[in-house]
Amino acid sequence: MNRTSVTVPAASGSTAPRTYNVIDCAGASITVRRRPSAAVLAVDGEVDATNVVLFSAAIRRFAAVGRPVVLDLSGLGFLNLTGFRSLLTLHRDYRRTDSPFMVVPGAALHPLLRAIPDHGLILQPSAAEAMDRISEMPHANRPIFHLVIGSGRGLVGT
């Protein structure tokens, strides 16, 4: 799994160029866009048995941080059943962390969603709408780790 940074020119009305991390997953690439309330991971290429381990590991890193994730698969060209199972496992792992994990489906995912309607994934029509939904959640802007003063017993992590 290789990482590179890509700097794109500033958008109109903005003075600063944006830098994105791009993670190479041997046939798929994940472009990481960090936002205040979540990370948007835009995937393109193909996910199958040859690269599903790299794909899953790259996304799982965000679960370890406890940050909400929007997985944008609208640019994904191919996803086989192995990749879909990995997606369901990632969703289950995120549910355990209590961090939102939303998926923007694309053409590669639609046939699998029709074949397996009880998938449980939280689907959104676009990354922007997923971000809106996350920002409306009561815990969206919570710190990943904060300290609470205990009743005279010192500091307690929550």
Average pLDDT over residues 114-118: 94
pTM assigned to the model: 0.78
Residue 41 burial (C-beta neighbours within 10 Å; 0-12, 13-18, 19+) = buried
**CA distance readout (Å), 21 to 3, 30, 92, 138:** 7, 8, 25, 28
What's the pLDDT tens digit per position in 60-113? 887 777 789 999 999 999 999 999 999 999 999 888 888 899 999 999 999 999
Rounded Cα distance, 4 and 20, in Å: 8
* 30 φ/ψ angles, rounded to the nearest 5 degrees: -120, 120
Residue 139 confidence (pLDDT): 61
**CA distance readout (Å), 127 to 40, 53, 61, 88, 92:** 7, 24, 20, 19, 20
Helices and strands per DSSP (H, E), number in the chain: 4, 9
- Residue 157: pLDDT over 60: no
